[in-house]
Structures are given as structure tokens and as C-alpha cells.
Amino acid sequence: MPEQLKDFAHTFLHAVNNLLPIIVVVVVFQALVLRQWPDGGLSMAIGLLIVALGMALFLRGLELGIFPVGKSLANQFARRGSLPILISFGFAIGFSAVIAEPALIAVADQAAEISAGRIDALSLRLVVATAVGLVMALGVLRLILGHPLHWYMIIGYLTVVAVTFFAPEEIVGLAYDAGTVTTNVVTVPLIAALGIGLATSIRGRNPLIDGFGLVAMVVVTPMIAVQLYGIIVYGQGSLAGDAELVMNGDDALDAASPLLQMAFDLFGMLRDVLPILLVILFFQYAVLKRALSNRLRVATGFALVIIGLYAFVVGLKLGLFPIGSSMAEQLIQFDSWLWVYLFAFAIGFATTMAEPALIAVGQQAEEAAAGKIDGRAIRLLVALGVAIGITVGTHRIISGDSLHLYVTLGYCCVVGMALLAPRYITALAFDLGGVSASAVTVPLVTALGIGLAMHIEGRSMLLDGFGLLVFTSIFPVLTVMIYGAVMEKISDLRKTAS
């Protein structure tokens, strides 16, 4: 028990450490630029602590219950070599992991609130989860067949751009953001472990070239699926009555006792995590026909995941969402937009450098590349890409330019670099673009975008507020590919000189 408490304390301190860059940026801007303490500052600070506590509980639950079982299943299926089982497992893991993704839950709830119930949060999450499950199955098949990743990504990008011409403008920004947030705390470790495990187990596959890429495919497909969902939703008549029912339901719940509301919220978290548990139990007992080892440990892990998710969502509402909205409101009061751009750049760089998923992927890449890649250099490049991306996305909101135009130009640049960059860096670059937005960055950046759209005249929260996150998945891909191309050129020049 003392050892477990020690591990939890370490995880909690790690979660607090991940929040420190955000705290430093906010404090510096409040003290030196705005020179005032924001309204509700104490509530925001408490919210940040609750976010850290929730993340610590959530991560400990993953380490105790979900990750060991998920990795064990992936390794056993890879050794068995059955294509139908591998594809089915890929779909099931993709669907179940995304439906429980905290960042997607937060964005879906924000979209439902802003659209007055026209966009249903649960339906949106089901659409995204189904898309991720299907592309996971396709990604497993690609890895087994040994197809180059960049052709899949080019086709995916072209499809996203094409569908955007037909999708209602109310859904486009949300669709881009929904794709970005699918690769986060829950999904990245499971998906990366599956890809690298398969590449290691299949003869003729390279863990660096073939093992990475699943995360990148997971980002693109939900963008297509959500836009198709938007065509259906906004192609119907007015849903004002439905929105009113939703709002009345929320009012009734707010009037209920705090204990009853907590019970409803916890039940919702159980519903979110249940798909992962059902997938694991089904494949463990029905497919592998083996008993689950350490059942008490696994059950404890799932309980911690549920409680951690609840605390995380509560903390978001108290801390990170208000911070992003408040900072946006305060900074736009200045005559110059320079401070808004500086804040966007600083938040993007600081939060990305502390992102655990990015650190983990960078370390895996360094090991798989056998000296070709420097993990810390990769983190710096990704952080720089995210910072530039959020700054460019912020400019788009301020100027009121077309999101579709920016994304189309960005994807064209990515496609061009994918054809020029060395193959060993391509799959990794696409994956790094997927993991660059963390569970902390996502709600803060989403709130920043919505806050800017809310307080700039002529902007719509639904049309302009969403879409900022997609820039965090485009620019890191470019910076890493450019790095790979430059390093390859330097290596060739050295060989020529010698």
C-alpha cells in the first residue's frame, strides 16, 4: 500500500508538472501585461488542481488496468497471426478507446452547448469512435500488407478537403477539431503499442517506418465522418424544440441535489469506460479463451479511471475553460493584437513541451531509429510547430478568413513535404502531428478559440470558435519533415565530402 501511494504521489506531481508551463504563461501575462488578477481566479486555481488530481487518478488507472491488458492482447494476437482477428481487434480498440477520450468528451459537450442541442454530444462521439475503429482496422491491414503510409495520408487529406466543399460551414471547424482530439491520453499509448508490436512481430517490417502511422490515420478519418454527420444534421429542419428540451433537462438536473448530480455524472463516466472493458473481456475470454490475470488489480484500475475522468471534467469546467475564455477577453481589449499572438504562441510551445504522449513517442522513435533521431530535438520541433500553428489559427479567427482555405493550403504543404522527406521520418512526422495536442492543451486552446470568436465583432462561436486545434496537427508534421529532409541532405553532403 505505501508503494502504491508513492506511485500515485509521483503521478500527481507529474500531472502538476505538466500544468506548470500553462500556469507560468498565464501568471506572466496577468502580472506583466494585464496587471490584474482574473475574475474567479481562485476557482480557476482550484479547477487546475482538480484537473491534476483527475489526471493522476486516470493515469494510475490506465497503468494498473487498461494498458497491461491491452498490450498483452496486442502481442498475443500478433503472435497468432490471424488477419480477421487482428482487424477486428483494431476496430474494437479504436472504437472503445476514443469513446472514452476525455478531450473528445470536453469538445463534444462544448459543441452541444454552443449549437443549442442541434449537435448531440453522444452522437458526435459515436460518429468519431466508429470512424476511428474503421481506420484502425484499415491501418492494421496496411501494416500487414506493407503499403507506404504517405499514399494513405494523401488520399485522406484530399478526401477531407473535398468533403469540406459540401459540408455546412457550422460543422467544418468542429470536424477538424474532433479529428485532432481523438489522439490523446487514452488512444495514443494503445494505438502506438499495437502498431509497433505488429511491426516488430511481422517479418520484413521496420518498427520506425511501418510501426508508426496508425495515430496519423486516426486523426484524418473523423474529420471526414463528422462533416458527413453535419450534412445530415444541418440538412434537417429546425431543431429548436429539441434544443429547448435539452436546456430544460439541464435546468432540472441543476436543480437536483449535488449528490444526485454527482451520481449522474459518475454513471456517465462508467458508460464512457465500459466499451474498453467489454472489448478486453470479450477478446480475453471469447477469442483467446484465457482467464484474466490480476483481476483485482484490473478492477481497481478501471475504478480509478472512472473517478479520474469525473474529476478531470469537473476541473476543466472550473479551471481551463474559464482561463482560455478569460485570457481571450482580456487580451483583445488592447489596441494591438500582438499580445494575443504572443499568448497563443507561448501557450502552444509551453504545453507541448510537457506533453507526456509526445515524450513517450519521441523516446520510442529514438530507440527505433538507432541514432538517426534525437528525441529532444523532435520535441522542440513539434512544440515549435504547435506554437506556430496556434498563432496562425488565432490570426485566422481575428481576420475572419476562411478556415477551409487555410487547411487546404496546409495540407498541400504537408503532401509536398511527404513526397520530399526521407521515408524513415514520414510516418513518425504524421504521428507526431496527432499527439501534439494534449489533454491539457485541447480544452485551453478550444476555450481560447471560442473566447476570441465570442468577443470579436462579426465572429460566430460555432463557425469561427472551432477549428483552432487542427493547426496543431498540421504544422508539427511540416517542422519534423523539414528537419528530416535537412538532416538527410547534411548526411549526403558529409558522405560526398568524405
For residue range 333-373, list pLDDT tens digits in order. Answer: 777 888 889 988 988 887 787 666 676 666 666 766 666 67
Average pLDDT over residues 188-193: 69
Residue with the bigger pLDDT between 439 and 266: it is 266
pLDDT at 120 over 70: yes
Residue 213: CA count within 13 A, CB half-sphere: 33
Cα(58)–Cα(50) distance, integer angstroms: 12
pLDDT at 248: 42
Cα(308)–Cα(300) distance, integer angstroms: 12
Cα(337)–Cα(29) distance, integer angstroms: 14
Across all residues in the chain, what is the average pLDDT?
Answer: 79
pLDDT at 469 over 80: yes
Residues 6+ apart with CB under 8 A from 154: 415, 418
pLDDT at 235 over 80: no
pLDDT at 387 over 90: yes
Q: Which of 158, 137, 156, 139 minimizes the C-alpha distance to 147?
A: 139
pLDDT at 478: 93
Q: Which of 458, 459, 480, 457 minimizes the C-alpha distance to 468?
A: 459
Q: Calculate ∠ Cα 115-119-123, nearest 5°.
A: 160
pLDDT at 228 over 90: yes
Question: If you average pLDDT over each of 82-86, 132-136, 378-382, which comes out highest?
Answer: 132-136
Cα(279)–Cα(218) distance, integer angstroms: 19
Band (pLDDT 50/70/90 cuts) for residue 391 is very high
pLDDT at 268: 67
pLDDT at 238 over 60: no
Tell me 38's DSSP state. Answer: P
Average pLDDT over residues 75-92: 79
Cα(79)–Cα(59) distance, integer angstroms: 28
In whole angstroms, how far apart are CA 27 and each of 31, 451, 474?
A: 6, 19, 29
pLDDT at 251: 45
pLDDT at 226: 92
pLDDT at 475: 93
Cα(255)–Cα(417) distance, integer angstroms: 55
Residue with the bigger pLDDT between 55 and 475: it is 475
pLDDT at 242: 40
348: cell is 502552444
pLDDT at 215: 79
pLDDT at 368: 64
Average pLDDT over residues 294-322: 78
Residue with the bigger pLDDT between 240 and 308: it is 308
Average pLDDT over residues 80-105: 80
pLDDT at 370: 62
Band (pLDDT 50/70/90 cuts) for residue 115 is confident
pLDDT at 225 over 90: yes
pLDDT at 247: 38
Query: Percent of the chain having pLDDT more than 70?
Result: 82
Query: Percent of the chain having pLDDT more than 90?
Result: 9
Question: If you average pLDDT over each of 39-43, 278-282, 318-322, which comes out highest?
Answer: 278-282
Average pLDDT over residues 287-297: 79
Tell me 402's DSSP state. Answer: -
Residue with the bigger pLDDT between 289 and 414: it is 414
Residue with the bigger pLDDT between 372 and 10: it is 10
Q: For residue 437, what are the domain limits?
A: 2-497
Residues 6+ apart with CB under 8 A from 185: 55, 58, 59, 62, 101, 102, 103, 357, 438, 439
pLDDT at 93 over 70: yes
Question: If you average pLDDT over each of 30-39, 156-165, 451-460, which comes out highest?
Answer: 156-165
Band (pLDDT 50/70/90 cuts) for residue 304 is confident
Cα(20)–Cα(32) distance, integer angstroms: 18
Question: If you average pLDDT over each of 324-338, 365-379, 393-407, which comes out highest?
Answer: 393-407
* E strand spans, 248-362: none
Average pLDDT over residues 42-55: 80
Question: If you average pLDDT over each of 252-261, 349-358, 377-386, 389-398, which comes out highest?
Answer: 389-398
**Tally of domains in the chain:** 1
Average pLDDT over residues 2-26: 77
pLDDT at 240: 40
